[in-house]
Chain A
Amino acid sequence: AQSVTQPDIHITVSEGASLELRCNYSYGATPYLFWYVQSPGQGLQLLLKYFSGDTLVQGIKGFEAEFKRSQSSFNLRKPSVHWSDAAEYFCAVLLYNQGGKLIFGQGTELSVKP
């Protein structure tokens, strides 16, 4: 069955430090992968997506993610975290030819220390 796992429920980093949020997926075909961010009380905003091609994708707000097929991973990174990055982050895989459904991970809550 298709699934997405985000192993870290909560991560705290210091402002200015680097960040990596982990995402592993289980999907039989070539995955379409996404990272969304949710600020408190808000909906989800797309950070970046991977469909094909270059395995390192750039997104908004200085985020990037790297697709590694051999590890079934799509980890999100940012070189220097800002206090405004505190939010919940969701990794998702698109079920293609199945109505475009998204399967989400459990989410990782990011806290940023001053």
Chain B
Amino acid sequence: NAGVTQTPKFRVLKTGQSMTLLCAQDMNHEYMYWYRQDPGMGLRLIHYSVGEGTTAKGEVPDGYNVSRLKKQNFLLGLESAAPSQTSVYFCASSYEEGDTEAFFGQGTRLTVV
């Protein structure tokens, strides 16, 4: 049982490049989330999904896009990376709202130079 798996774990991008972060969960969870973690700011929600085929904006969505074509996968895209997007990105999933905990991936450390 792998839980929540993020790919890749590390990446360095040049300004203007694009990339996609993959989050996969094998727990049949409906809800999935992308957060970014920056020093002194905790985790902030970028986008989330409450089921296959749905996405919604979180607190800091600008510069990111997401897709949830399959229930088990939640993709985070950066179309044109900027240094301000240097961060650690965490994916999380939960079975349903409220009553269960969210399970987190190990994180992706992204540096944009």
Please determine whether B101 and A99 come into contact, CB atoms closer than 8 angstroms: no
Are A102's CB and B106's CB within 8 A?
no
Q: Are B97 and A99 in contact (CB under 8 A)?
A: yes
Is B43 within 8 A of A99, CB to CB?
no
In the complex, A102 Cα to B38 Cα: how many Å?
16
Residues of B within 8 A of A104 (CB): 35, 42-44
In whole Å, how far is B19's beta carbon from the nearest beta carbon of chain A? 20
* Contact assessment for B48 and A99 in the assembled complex, using a CB-CB cutoff below 8 Å: yes
Q: Which residue of A90, A99, A102, A103 is within 8 Å of B56 (Cβ)?
A: A99
Contact of B98 among A41, A44, A94 (CB under 8 A): A94
Residue on B nearest A107 in the bound complex, by CB: B42
Work out how many contacts link A and B, with CB atoms closer than 8 A.
65
Interface contact B43-A34, CB-CB below 8 Å: no
Interface residues on B, range: 20 to 34
Q: Quick check: A96 and B97 within 8 Å, CB to CB?
A: yes
Q: List B residues 64-82 near A (Cβ within 8 Å).
A: none
Contacts of A11 in B (CB 8 A): none
Cβ distance A63 to chain B, nearest Cβ, rounded Å: 15
A106 touches B42 (CB 8 A): yes
- Which residues in B have their C-beta under 8 angstroms from that of A6? 42
Contact B90 A32 (CB under 8 A): no
Chain B interface (Cβ within 8 Å of chain A)?
Answer: 4, 31, 33, 35, 40-45, 48, 50, 56, 58, 90, 92, 94, 96-99, 101-102, 104-107
